[in-house]
Amino acid sequence: MRKVYFDSAATTQLRGEVIEQMQASLSEAYGNPSSTHSFGRSSKTLIEKARKTIAKYLNAHPSEIIFTSGGTEADNMILKSAVRDLGVKTIITSKIEHHAVLHTVEHLQTEYGIEVKYVVLDPDGTPNLEHLEWLLQSDPSKKLVSLMHVNNEIGNMIDIQAVSDVCKANDALLHSDAVQSIGHWEWDVQKTKVDFLAAAAHKFHGPKGIGFAYIRKDSGLKSLIYGGEQERGYRAGTESTHNIIGLETSFTLAYDNLDEERDYVRGIKRYFIDKIKEAFPDAGFNGSCEDCEKSTYTLVNVRLPLSPEKSQILLFHLDINGIACSKGSACQSGSSMGSHVLSSILNTEELEKPSIRFSFSKFNDKEDVDYVVKVLEDFAKS
């Protein structure tokens, strides 16, 4: 049976080069980076090299890159400290953010009594910039805007430069969950003046359990984890040297090969869309994912014209045929609730149809697409 992995928005396959570099570091760079002897200094040197590498690609200062366990921790650290330490009284976000943002904001509303405002969404699920500007000007409180660059379920891309400009014009802080963006799209934090970013290595062929927060210099943000002074005092705890090296390797390879791999994966996405349209003329595409100019090249969220009975077993049928994909965010796979993203943009009739997220990478090819579409066609006709 053919095996097809179309769930790279959930996590990606590791590059071989990443595995090699991590294995070497596990056997050779085992000193505690905080130790002053040569073994510790060697590990520390590798970590600082990785920090400088990432900063260079983002046009940031190395001190602005803080290693974390991933995007969720980075989001939590940024949002919680902004309220606790920076005096943020109002957070403006959208109802289709990742739950790492939405649940954190809900907690902050309960614990600190902050006001939470949600940007109106356009019909395709893109936050409305005019409404954002109105929200920023509606009261004089200190504000933080939190909007993801690339939506993890429908692939919509916001105009992050325009969002940055309106935030700066209204003296608001800007945080972006860039987990689906970093490693796939260029960032220049001197041009697009975000204050905070969150990233995770496993979204661009790196290891799980490692990511970073970009925290603009002199922001005033403080640590949520108490202990040692690692990560410039932002995050206590012994650094995971081998994971940081894996992050650096995958990050470097992602950006060094970005144009070539982006064109290739975009071709897979366009081919998939064309094949789905041929097989299912009545299929719908959620958000802006059908438009390669308005959405990321890495995923498609398709709504299939299937009966309720077939809808209930669709994912199971794909799985037993060796196909990995997702109803939405993998983080919600254990929940009985439907997608909060799709519930925000689809009507009742549309929500009754099964929506599946297929997400692609450099490890896929057109034969994978042909196989998946054939399995879907046979299932619909059975």
pLDDT tens for 109-122 read 999 999 999 999 99
Is the pLDDT assigned to residue 265 strictly greater than 90? yes
Is the pLDDT assigned to residue 331 strictly greater than 80? no
Contact 258, 204 (CB under 8 A): no
Q: What are phi and psi of 290, to 5 degrees?
A: -75, -25
If you average pLDDT over residues 327-349, what whole number do you get? Answer: 74
Amino acid identity of residue 359, one-letter, is S
- Confidence (pLDDT) at 338: 82
List of long-range contacts for 44-51, beta carbons under 8 Å, 24+ apart: 46/241, 46/244, 46/245, 47/239, 47/241, 47/244, 49/248, 50/244, 50/245, 50/247, 50/248
Q: Residues 150-180: pLDDT tens digits?
A: 999 999 999 999 999 999 999 999 999 999 9
Is the pLDDT assigned to residue 334 strictly greater than 60? no
Q: Residues 280-313: pLDDT tens digits?
A: 999 999 999 999 999 999 999 999 999 999 999 9
If you average pLDDT over residues 92-111, what whole number do you get? Answer: 98
Distance CA 323, CA 302 (A): 15
Distance CA 13, CA 220 (A): 36
Provide the whole-model pTM: 0.95
Architecture of the domain whose range is 16-256: 3-Layer(aba) Sandwich (3.40)
Q: Which residues contact 222 (CB under 8 A, 6 or more apart)?
A: 81, 84, 85, 233, 234
If you average pLDDT over residues 243-250, what whole number do you get? Answer: 98
Reading the block at residue 131, the tokens are 């409404």
- What are the domain boundaries of the chain? 4-12+258-381, 16-256
- Confidence (pLDDT) at 330: 47
Cα-Cα-Cα-Cα dihedral sign, residues 204, 47, 190, 140: positive
Which residues are marked as active site? 331
Distance CA 284, CA 277 (A): 9
If you average pLDDT over residues 74-86, what whole number do you get? Answer: 98
Q: 173: which strand partners?
A: 144
- Confidence (pLDDT) at 337: 64
Q: At what angle do helices 160-169 and 129-137 cross, to 10 degrees?
A: 20
Could you tell me how far CA 178 lies from the centroid of its own chain? 5
Question: What confidence tier does 332 reach under pLDDT thresholds 50, 70, 90?
Answer: very low
Is the pLDDT assigned to residue 86 strictly greater than 80? yes
- Confidence (pLDDT) at 327: 86
In angstroms, the Cα distances linking 228 to 24, 313, 341 are 27, 50, 39
Is the pLDDT assigned to residue 328 strictly greater than 70? no
Q: Residues 38-70: pLDDT tens digits?
A: 999 999 999 999 999 999 999 999 999 999 999
What value does the CA radius of gyration of the chain take, rounded to a whole number of Å?
A: 21
Q: What are phi and psi of 371, to 5 degrees?
A: -65, -45
- Confidence (pLDDT) at 296: 98
Is the pLDDT assigned to residue 202 strictly greater than 60? yes
Closest CA to 99 of 335, 358, 359: 335
- Identify the three-state secondary structure at position 5: strand
Distance CA 116, CA 88 (A): 11
Is the pLDDT assigned to residue 329 strictly greater than 70? no
* Fold classification of 4-12+258-381 (topology level): Aspartate Aminotransferase, domain 1 (3.90.1150)
Contact 200, 178 (CB under 8 A): no
Is the pLDDT assigned to residue 317 strictly greater than 50? yes
Reading the block at residue 360, the tokens are 């692609």
Q: Which residues contact 197 (CB under 8 A, 6 or more apart)?
A: 74, 175, 176, 178, 182, 187, 189, 213, 214
Cβ count near 16 (within 10 Å): 9
Question: What confidence tier does 94 reach under pLDDT thresholds 50, 70, 90?
Answer: very high
Distance CA 183, CA 199 (A): 9
Is the pLDDT assigned to residue 335 strictly greater than 80? no
